[in-house]
Structure formats: C-alpha cells, structure tokens
Amino acid sequence: MVQPPLALGAIILAGGTAARMGGADKASIELDGRTLLAWALDAVVDAGEVVVLGDWVRTERPVTFTREDPAQGGPAAGVLAGLDAFARPPARLVVLAVDMPRVSLDTVARLRQAAEGHDGAVLRAPDGRRQLALVLDAARLHAVRPPYGEEYGLPLHKLLAPLDLVEVPARGDEARDVDGWDDLRDLRTT
C-alpha cells in the first residue's frame, strides 16, 4: 500500500565547512544556552519528518542525519540529498540553514502561507539577498533536479531558477546568519 505524502518535511543544512569559523561544527555552537541545531529544529517543529544534512549530533527530537555524496557538494547537492533521505516523501518542504537562529516557527508559517499557489517562498534579507530559509513544493523541486551527479557544486540559485518563488521580507533579525564568530557575538548582544 502506497502511503500518501507527508504534508510537511524539513531539511536543515548543517554540513558546510564553516571556514570563517575555523571549521567549527555550526550545529553544535551554542547561542543563549542552546545549540544552533536546536534553534533550527524549533523553527520546523510542525514538520512531520526532519532530515539534517551534516554529521550526527545529539538532538532533542528524532531526526534523520545524512550527507551528500561526495561531501561538501554545496547547498543544492545538500537539498537534493536531503530530499532523497525522507522515509515518506513530503508534499511541502522547509529548507533552513542551521546558522539562522532567528528564523522561528512564525517565519516558517509566513513562508508556508506565501508559498500557496506558487512553487515556494524564500526569505529575503533587508539588503535584497535571498536567504537559506525556504518553503518548496517537493514535486516541483523533483521536476527541476538535474541528472544524478550534476548537482555537485551546482549553485542553489541555479537549481531554483525555474521555480516560481515568492520573496517574503524578513522581520527583525530573521535574516541574520552566523558566518563568523563576530556574527555570533552580535546575535548574543541583540
């Protein structure tokens, strides 16, 4: 018997090199007494299944850990590897970088609402940049995925280019990410 798709799944991208942080494991870095991964998991608490792209770390809720193959293939390869790791395919998919601790359940709800009638929605920073906080139609993502092996090193914006994505303006610090130790320090003082 074929199971119906999961209404909402989530992929947390936590497998980057963190070069500006000396290779630190961003998922385990703490902000206000909680790991960045814990903050990300709070933002996707409505997801029926969560896949984390990165090395295993202890979590407060069940998740599936996986890696793109070969490793360090970039966000597009990570998203597609995450999509393939779901036990039940999701209809909608939240994609969130682990280093965006101010993305909340409310942020994801706004993205989900904006995505209705479109292929998805993406959080837009005040400077106009698209952030790694998205909601996507999983079937449409499958439809635009490149042939196997061509996703390695593919820029995420090229993977998503054929999709009809609505931009959702960030509120407050939602678009802030932790690219370096200074960013973490600045988030601690806000």
Read off the pLDDT band of 5 (50, 70, 90).
Answer: confident
Any idea how long the chain is? Answer: 190
Read off the pLDDT band of 116 (50, 70, 90).
Answer: very high
Is pLDDT of 67 > 90?
A: no
Read off the pLDDT band of 74 (50, 70, 90).
Answer: confident
Read off the pLDDT band of 189 (50, 70, 90).
Answer: low
Is pLDDT of 108 > 90?
A: yes
Is pLDDT of 149 > 80?
A: no
**For residues 173 and 22, what is the distance between their CA atoms, to the nearest angstrom?**
24
In the chain, domain spans: 6-188
Q: What is the pTM (predicted TM-score) of this model?
A: 0.89
Residues 6+ apart with CB under 8 A from 4: none
Is pLDDT of 31 > 90?
A: no
Is pLDDT of 17 > 70?
A: no
Is pLDDT of 16 > 80?
A: no
**For residues 29 and 83, what is the distance between their CA atoms, to the nearest angstrom?**
25
Interaxial angle between packed helices 105-115 and 36-43, expressed in degrees from 0 to 180 and rounded to the nearest 10: 40
CA distances from 67 to 101, 110, 114, 120 (A): 21, 28, 29, 24
**For residues 66 and 77, what is the distance between their CA atoms, to the nearest angstrom?**
12
Q: Give residue-wise pLDDT tens across range 34-60.
A: 888 999 999 999 999 999 998 888 888
* C-beta atoms surrounding 127 within 10 Å: 7
Report the candidate in 100, 78, 91 with the shortest Cα–Cα distance to residue 11.
78
| Homologous superfamily assigned to 6-188 | Spore Coat Polysaccharide Biosynthesis Protein SpsA; Chain A (3.90.550.10)
Read off the pLDDT band of 147 (50, 70, 90).
Answer: confident
DSSP labels, 106-120: HHHHHHHHHHTTSSE
